[in-house]
Amino acid sequence: MVMMISSIDQLKKYVKKAFLFKVGSAYIVPKDITIDDNTLFNKLIQCLNSSPLVVKTYTLSPTGKPRALNVFVFRV
């Protein structure tokens, strides 16, 4: 249900935590399509870790989804 209100000041005292989420697209398209999934995944982690702005990198699966590496490829 969506409602419009002008002020939510009255709720502030009950806020435990608040987050802003922004979502977007960033497709990595391998130049060599025969590259294996593990190599690609490791390269991605290495690439992200190579930046001094990246403090930490780790992996996490959504609840109920497999923990082992899975790669789904969708051709559009």
The secondary element (H helix, E strand) that includes residue 69 is none
Quick check: 26 binds other proteins (CB under 8 A)? yes
Distance from C-alpha of 6 to C-alpha of 9, rounded to nearest angstrom: 9
Q: Is there binding between residue 38 and other proteins (CB under 8 A)?
A: no
Residue 9, Ramachandran bin (φ over 0: left; ψ between -120 and 50: alpha; else beta): alpha
Should residue 76 be labelled a site residue for other proteins when binding is judged by CB under 8 A? Answer: yes
72 is an interface residue for other proteins by CB under 8 A = yes
36 binds other proteins (CB under 8 A): no
State residue 10 phi and psi, 5-degree precision.
Answer: -65, -20
Binding site for other proteins (CB under 8 A): 1-5, 8, 11-12, 14-33, 35, 40-41, 43-45, 47-48, 50-51, 53-63, 65-67, 69-76
